[in-house]
Amino acid sequence: MATTALPDVPDEELLRLDRQVCFSLNAASRAFGGVYRVVLQELGLTYPQYLVMLVLWEHGPLPVKQIGSYLRLDSGTLSPLLKRLEAAGHVRRERSAEDERSVTVRLTDSGTALREQALHVPRRIFAATGLSLDEVTALQSLLDRVTARLDTGDPTIGCTG
C-alpha cells in the first residue's frame, strides 16, 4: 500500500498546512453555526433541531433510525434532541405497531406550521455566505466527497510506518 501523494513535502510544512486545512473546516462549520443560531432564534430551534425538522418536512414521519441515517447521527444524539423537540410541541414520538423496537417521529400541527417561518431561512443563510450558487455547489460537492471518503476510509492509509 503506497503512500498517497505528497511525496516531497516535509513533515514540518505539512504540520503547518494541517493546522490551516483542518482548522478551516472546523472554523467554517462553527461560523455557519453562529449565523444559523441568529436566524433560527426566532423559530426557537437550534441548528441540529432545524436539520431534523428539514428531514421531517421533506420526508414525513420517520423512525429515529432513519432520521439518524439521513443526518449521520446516532440515537445518543437524537434521543435527547427529539425529546426536546417533543417538549417544544413540534413532534410526537410513538412506538411503531409492527416493530415495537422502532419509534416513529411525526410532526405535530405546530411542527408543520413552523415550516412557513423556515421558508425564508435558506435565502438569508445563502446571502450571508457571500458565495455564488456555483461556488456553493462546488463546495458542497467537495465536502460530500470528503465525507464519503472519510466515513469509509481506513485511517492507516498513507501511514508509511
CA distances from 33 to 47, 79, 146 (A): 7, 21, 20
Within residues 26-85, the interface with DNA by CB under 7 A covers: 26, 30, 33-34, 37, 46-49, 63-66, 68, 72-84
Q: What is the closest distance, in whole angstroms, from the C-beta atom of residue 97 to a copy of itself in the complex?
A: 29
Applying CB under 8 A, which of residues 11, 98, 100, 109 lies at the interface with a copy of itself? 11
Within residues 72-101, the interface with a copy of itself by CB under 8 A covers: 72
Residue with cell 428539514: 54
- Spatial neighbors of 136 by CB under 8 A, at least 6 apart, are 126, 129
Applying CB under 8 A, which of residues 98, 100, 109, 154 lies at the interface with a copy of itself? 154
Q: How many CA atoms lie within 13 A of 95 on its CB side?
A: 5
Strand-pairing partners, residue 91, are: 107
Positions in the binding site for DNA (CB under 7 A): 26, 30, 33-34, 37, 46-49, 63-66, 68, 72-84, 93, 98-103
